Amino acid sequence: MSTILAIDSASDRFAVGVDRVGQREIVVAEEERSHTTGLLAAIERLLGGERPAAILVVTGPGSYAGLRVGIATAQGLALATGAPLYGVRTFEAIALAAGGDGAVTAIHPAGRGEWGVQRWAGREPAGEIALVAALPGGDRLAGEGAGALGGLEVGPRERVAAMLERLAPAARRGELATGAEPFYLREPAITISRRQRTAG
């Protein structure tokens, strides 16, 4: 069976799903920030011993640690199974979930009171990815947190569902670009330890 696996770890709660030629199953983590302990177990439960024909993974922007866990897990599975790996930007998954038609501003929380944004026209980006403190007025918003702002709420479940619905057929045909490089809006807030600074 041509099973497609999708992984989204860009948010506080991860989501994983499988598409078995139109039959889909999606699991969302019950606890926040449980990527390290729960992601692989959820994937194993969903696959039930099957080898995926292809793997879709969200590459960001999103949670630094969450993305690292999700992408590394997807890369490891791809290496172990020989399945091709396809990266999907968070904003593309949001645009797909928003219907893929008409104009939409895809948003994702970036911490520190800021948002990552990108305008989309249908299934094509209509602007650059930006980090903003205030969301643009008058735009049709979609993404995590958009529901509270009068827009379309699109969280990890909806992003995984959209990837499976819109991209699984192309993944089966090998029509997507392979690779999954993480994309971050800013440098991670990680510093060198005092011991390393002293040794340097």
For position 101, what pLDDT does the model report?
72
Structural class in CATH, domain 99-153? alpha beta
Domain limits, the chain = 3-92+155-173, 99-153
pLDDT of 46-94, one tens digit each? Answer: 999 999 999 999 999 999 999 999 999 999 999 999 999 999 999 999 9
- Euclidean distance between CA atoms 29 and 14, whole angstroms: 6
Q: 3-92+155-173 domain in CATH 3.30.420.40?
A: yes
Confirm if 118 and 129 have CB atoms less than 8 A apart: yes
At residue 54, φ and ψ (nearest 5 deg) are -160, 160
Structure tokens at 99: 């219907």
Could you check whether 3-92+155-173 and 99-153 share the same CATH topology? yes
Do you find a cis peptide bond into 61, omega within 30 degrees of 0? yes
- Euclidean distance between CA atoms 116 and 20, whole angstroms: 33
- Euclidean distance between CA atoms 190 and 4, whole angstroms: 34
Q: In the block, which residue shows the tokens 């969450």?
A: 66
pTM: 0.92
Confirm if 41 and 29 have CB atoms less than 8 A apart: no
Tens digit of pLDDT at every position of the chain (200 positions): 599 999 999 999 999 999 999 899 999 999 888 888 899 999 999 999 999 999 999 999 999 999 999 999 999 999 999 999 999 999 999 999 998 678 999 999 999 999 999 999 988 999 999 999 999 877 899 999 999 999 999 999 999 999 999 999 999 999 999 999 999 998 766 556 666 666 66
Q: Using the 8-state DSSP alphabet, how is residue 83 labeled?
A: -
For position 91, what pLDDT does the model report?
98
